[in-house]
Structure 1
Amino acid sequence: MSETEFLNIRKDGRAGRITLTRPQALNALSQSMCAEIAATIDAWATDETVEIVILDAAGGRAFCAGGDIAEIYEAGRAGDMEIGARYWADEYRMNAKLVHFPRPVISFMQGYTMGGGVGLGCHTSHRIVGDSSILAMPEVGIGLVPDVGGTLILSRAQGRLGEYLGVTGARMTGADAIYAGFADYYIPEADWPTLITQLCESADYDLVDQAAAGHSSPVAPLAALQAEIDHYFGGETLRDILNALEFSDSDFAKSILAEMGKKSPLSMACTVELVHRARLRDTIENALEQEYRFTSRAVEKADFLEGVRAQIIDKDRNPNWMHSSPRDVPPAMVASLLLPLGPRALKLD
C-alpha cells in the first residue's frame, strides 16, 4: 500500500471529502499524505463544484494522532538532517492552505487529535469534537515545539493557557478544546454520519450550527484552572514561570513541575518564546515561519532524536536531555534556534 492510499479523497455530492484511512497507525500523517492533501486543497480552491470540504478519519480511536516521524528519526540517526526539514515544510504548506481555503472546511475530530492532527483539524472554519475527543500539543515530550501553526492557536487561548498547554503538553477534552480555542462545536459522535450526509447533499454549513444547538457542551475542566494558570504562567521566559511555580506550595504547582520534569528543557524554553512571538504577530504565516526555524534545526541541534528514541523507539521513557534542568538552558541557545534561516527559510507558496 502506498502512503497516499492512506487517504480517501473524493467528491460526494456538493462536498469535497478527505478521509484519513490509516487507523492502525492512529491516522498519523506521512510526508506524502501532507503533500497529497495540499495538492487537493489547491485544486478544489478553484473548483466551483466543491462548495464545502469535509475532513474526517476512519476508526474510532483517532482523527490523527500526529505526524509519522519514524523516517525523520532514522534519517537523522544516519546523518541526514534534510528529510525532516522537507517533511515539516510540506506539512506547514498544507496547514497554511487549509487556513486560506476560500470556502467552509469542516473537521470531525474523534479520539486522539494531537500535533500534526491539530494542524490538520484545527485550522478549519468549523471544528467539531465529541465525547471521545482528546486534543493536545505534546511535542515538548519528544524534543520538538508545538508546530503546524499550533503556536498561533496557543497564543490566542484565554490568558496564559497557551503557555501552559504548550509547556506541559496537557491533554484537553472536547469541552476543553472549545474553551481553549482549538474547536468550535460539540456534537455527539452518533450524530456525525447523518450530519455529513446532509452537508454533502446541501453544502449548507448552517447545519453545523443547528446540530450543535441541540446539545449542551460538557463542562470544561480547564476553565476551573484558568486563574492558577494565569498566575503561574504569566512570565516572559521559562525561568520566570519556574520561579512562580517553585515558590508555591500548592498541589497544582507541584503537579505542573512534576510534569515539566519529563519534558525537554530546551523545547519548553523555546515554546514559551514562540507562543509570545505568535501573540505579537497574529498570522499563520508568521507562526509557521517561526516554528520552522526550530523544527528545521531540531534533528541536528535540539533534543529531537533523543526524545523520539526514549518515547517512541526504545520506549524506556528515560530521555537524556541536553540540559538536566530548565534553568540550565542558556537564553542564547533559545535565540540561536530561532534565528532567521536566510535562503533556507520556509516557503509557503
Structure 2
Amino acid sequence: MTAPALFALHPTANGRQIGVITLHAEKSLNALSLAMIRAVTPTLLEWRDNPDIVCVLLQGAGEKAFCAGGDVVAMHDAIRSGDFATTDAFFTEEYALDYAIHTYPKPILAWGHGIVMGGGLGLLVGASHRVVTERSRIAMPEVTIGLYPDVGGSWFLNRLPGRLGIYLGLTGASFNAADALFTGMADFALPSALRDELCQELAAIAWTGQGEQDKRLLSSQLRELSRLTQLELPPSPIRAHYDAIQSLTDYDSVDEMVAAITRYEGADEWLRAGAKKLAAGSPTSMRLIVAAQQRARHLSLQQVFDMELNLSRQCCRHPDFAEGVRALLVEKDNAPRWSPASLAEVDEALIAGFFMPPL
C-alpha cells in the first residue's frame, strides 16, 4: 500500500534540519484523505516540538497539483453508506491540521504549485510562507458540489479586499498566482523549475532556532529568490475585474447578488465562467456561503473552525453534498438534482439549522 504522505529530513549548513512533507497521492491530485491527515498531523506536531527542526516544507507529489482538495469521493461513499462517524472524523481532523498550520511557531513553506483547490487552499493559506508558481491554478469551487468554502475559508475569504470573498465563494472562480499575490493568499511567486533546488536554498539559511527570527530569515531568502528569478506571471483577472466584482456583489440579499452575477452576459470569459458555475451550483450552498461569511466576520480563527465543523457535519447529512459529488465526480453526468431545487425555496430556518451541531 502506498504511503499517503512522505517525510524527509534535510540537514542545513549550520547543523539544523528542515522537515519535508510531501502529500503523496499523485493520481488523485494529492487529494486529502483521512489517512493522509492522520499521517501528516502527528509528524507536524512532533517536528514542532523538536528543537533541531527549524523549518517545514509542505509540497505535493508530481507536477500537476499541490492538493486538489479533500477526498470528497470517499466522503460521498461514506455518506451513502450512512457512515457519518467517518465524515465527522474527517472534518474534525482536517480542521485540527489546518489550525495547527495557521498557529505553527516555526516557519512553514507551502509550495503551492499546480492545482490548489478547496482543502489544498486551506493548507496553503495557513502556512507562514505561501509560494505560488506560474502554473498555480487555485479555486474554492464547493458551490458546485453542495458544500461551501470551508477549511477556514469563512475566515480567510472574509479578509480579502472588498467583497472578493463572497464572489469567489459563490462562483468558485478559478484564479492564478498573480491573483493569489494580489489578494494576499500567497506571499511569493517563484518559477516551478526552482523546486528541485529549494532544499539547497533553504539549507543555506543561517537558521537560529528562534521561530519568529527564522520566519524573517526565510522571508528574506524567498524575497531575494523572487527578485533574482523575476518570474513573469499571467495577468490577474481578479485585479482587472475588481470594480466589476464589487458592483456585482453590491446587494443586501443573496437573491439579488446571485441574480446580478448570473445575469452577466458580457464578453469577458472569466466573468462568464463565474456566472455559469454559480448558475449550476447548489441553491442551499449559495445561502450558506453568504451566511457563513457574515457570521464569521468578527470570530476568531478557532471560533470559525468550530462553526465550520458544525456546518460541514450538517452538509454531510443534507442531500446536496453527496448529490453534487455524484453528479460531478462519480457518475459525471453534470446534472445534480438539488434539494431544494431553487434559491427561493431555501428558507432561513433551513440555513440556521446548519449552524447547530447534528443530533
TM-score (norm 2): 0.89
| Alignment match, 1:286 | 303
Letter of the structure 2 residue corresponding to residue 226 of structure 1: Y
Is the alpha carbon distance of 1:82 and 1:198 closer, same or farther for their aligned partners in structure 2, counting shifts above 3 Å? same
Residue of structure 2 equivalent to 1:233? 249
1:295 aligns with 2:312: yes
Deviation at 1:249, TM superposition (A): 6.7
CA distance in 2, matches of 1:79, 1:6: 25
In the comparison of the two structures, how many residue pairs are matched?
339
Q: How does 1:302-317 map to 2 (within 5 A)?
A: 302-317=319-334
- Name whichever of 172-181 and 95-104 sits farther off: 172-181
The alignment status of 1:210 with 2:224, answered yes or no, reads: yes
Consecutive unaligned residues in structure 1, runs of 5 or more: 345-349
CA shift, 1:266, in A, is 0.4
Q: Distance in 1 between matches of 2:127 and 2:189?
A: 15
Structure 1 residue 327: deviation in Å?
2.6
Aligned-pair Cα RMSD in Å: 2.0
TM-score (norm 1): 0.91
Aligned position for 1:11: 9
| Alignment partner, residue 347 of structure 1 | none
Most deviating of 252-261 and 286-295: 252-261
Match for residue 328 of structure 1 among 342, 345, 357: 345
Q: Tell me: CA distance 1:53–1:249, structure 2 relative to 1, closer, same or farther (3 Å).
A: closer
Alignment gaps of 5+ in structure 2: 12-16, 208-216
- 8 Å Cα contact 1:84/1:296 also seen in 2: yes
Q: Judging changes above 3 Å, is the alpha-carbon distance between structure 1 residues 156 and 186 closer, same or farther for their aligned structure 2 residues?
A: same
Instruction: Tell me which residue corresponds to 1:221.
Output: 237
Q: Alpha-carbon deviation of 1:256?
A: 4.4
Q: Compared with structure 1, are the counterparts of its residues 302 and 276 closer, same or farther at alpha carbon in structure 2 (3 Å cutoff)? A: farther
Q: Is the 8 A contact 1:10 1:17 kept in 2?
A: yes
Equivalent AA in structure 1 for residue 8 of structure 2: R
Deviation at 1:15, TM superposition (A): 0.8
Is contact 2:57-2:108 (8 Å) kept?
Answer: yes
Deviations 1:290-346 (A, max 9, x none): 21111101121241110011011100000000022223211221111123x28x8xx
Cα offsets for 1:6-28 (capped at 9, x unmatched): 21112211211101122111111
In the other structure, the counterpart of 1:264 is: 282
Could you tell me whether the CA contact under 8 Å between 2:135 and 2:177 is conserved in 1?
yes
- What whole-Å deviation, never above 9, does each CA across 1:47-74 have from its counterpart, x for those lacking one? 1111111111221110111111223211
Structure 1 distance, partners of 2:221, 2:351, is 46
Cα deviation digits, residues 163-222 of structure 1 (max 9, x gap) = 011111111111111112221111111123223322034344121111112325633121
The runs of at least 4 aligned residues of structure 1 exceeding 6 Å deviation read: 246-249
Q: Percent identity?
A: 32
Give the deviation of 1:80 after TM superposition. Answer: 2.1
**1:52 alignment partner, one of 35, 55, 59:** 55
Contact map agreement 1:237 1:272 (CA 8 A) in 2? no
Q: For structure 1, which segment, 184-193 or 132-141, has the greater mean C-alpha deviation from structure 2 after superposition?
A: 184-193
- In the TM superposition, 1:104-123 aligns within 5 A as 104-123=107-126
